[in-house]
């Protein structure tokens, strides 16, 4: 569970909820933090910052800002006439029942300088992709490799070996066939 995020203007973020699927705001959609909007008690100068121990703050001092995120791609909406795809992200209520009903407010975003094997599915990278082959946290390396638009836009962190993908013989055959397919699409 994420307890805090260190966000700055320029941070890459990923939506964690389907906020408005028809409008292009869906779980996994990427964007860049453009700014912060405070209603009353926000920092007045660049030198001011929020304390690391929120326990010392009074409830009236715990304002959560609206985070302005410029969403990647083309949206039919922007909260600014000058900046395309600018969307305000506000905290949403989450509830949990563990002996007692708890309520907390959390932003529906996460830092997203990288993607997991699950979130890469259905994504196409026009800029390129770096794949950490053999990572214990990533089982779908071949899925990530298929998201690049060109073989020249794939950077591997180490040499590809079939052991990075599976020990199951039938599945390994599928992976090898997928590599053969990639070589047909992107001849060297």
Q: What confidence tens digit (pLDDT) does each residue in 170-185 have?
A: 777 777 787 788 778 7
**Tokens describing residue 148:** 């690049």
Averaged confidence pLDDT in the chain = 76
The beta-strand segments (E) located in the chain are 12-15, 30-37, 66-71, 86-89, 92-97, 101-106, 109-111, 129-131, 154-156
Higher-pLDDT residue of 7, 154: 7
Name the token pair of 173.
């055959």
**CA distance linking residue 18 with residue 8, whole number of Å:** 23
* Mean pLDDT, residues 160-167: 63
CA nearest to 5, candidates 65, 73, 83, 70 = 65
- By three-state DSSP, how is residue 98 classified? coil
Minimal CA–CA distance to 166: which of 144, 138, 131?
138
Strands 109-111 and 12-15: antiparallel
Domain count, the chain: 2
Same domain as 147, residue 87? no
Q: Are residues 133 and 90 in the same domain?
A: no
Query: Looking at the domain assignment, is residue 146 inside a domain?
Result: yes
- Would you state the structure tokens that stand for residue 36, as one six-digit string? 């912060």
**For residue 176, is it within any domain?**
yes
- State residue 70's pLDDT score: 96
Question: Is residue 16 domain-shared with residue 100, that is, in the same domain?
Answer: yes
Could you list the residue range(s) of the whole structural domain that residue 45 is in? 12-111
Residue scoring higher pLDDT (138 or 143): 143
Whether residues 64 and 141 share a domain: the answer is: no
**Residue 31 to residue 26: CA distance in whole angstroms:** 11
Q: Is residue 64 part of a domain?
A: yes
- Structure letter (DSSP) for residue 65: P
**pLDDT, tens digit, 9 for 90 and up, residues 28-59:** 888 999 998 887 655 555 555 555 565 666 66
Which of 56, 77, 111 is the endpoint of a domain? 111
- More confident position, 60 or 91: 91
Percent of the chain residues topping a pLDDT of 90: 16
At 100, the pLDDT band (50, 70, 90 cuts) reads: confident
Quick check: is 16 in a domain? Answer: yes
Q: How confident is the model at residue 125 (pLDDT cuts 50, 70, 90)?
A: low
Domain boundary among 59, 83, 111: 111
96 inside domain? yes
């Amino acid at each position: 569970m994420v307890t805090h995020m260190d966000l700055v203007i320029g941070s890459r973020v990923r939506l964690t909820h389907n906020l408005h699927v028809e409008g292009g705001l869906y779980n996994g959609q990427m964007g860049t933090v453009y700014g912060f909007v405070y209603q009353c008690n926000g920092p007045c100068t660049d030198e001011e910052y929020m304390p690391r121990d929120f326990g010392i703050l009074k409830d009236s001092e715990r304002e959560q800002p609206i985070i302005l995120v410029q969403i990647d791609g083309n949206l039919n909406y922007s909260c600014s006439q000058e900046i395309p795809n600018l969307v305000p992200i506000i905290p949403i209520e989450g509830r949990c029942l563990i002996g007692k009903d708890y309520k907390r407010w959390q932003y529906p975003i996460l830092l997203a300088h990288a993607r997991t094997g699950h979130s890469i599915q259905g994504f196409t990278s026009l800029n390129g992709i770096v794949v950490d082959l053999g990572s214990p946290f990533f089982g779908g390396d071949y899925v990530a490799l298929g998201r690049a638009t060109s073989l020249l836009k794939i950077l591997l962190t180490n040499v590809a070996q079939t052991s990075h993908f599976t020990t199951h013989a039938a599945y390994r055959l599928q992976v090898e066939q997928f590599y053969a397919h990639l070589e047909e699409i992107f001849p060297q």
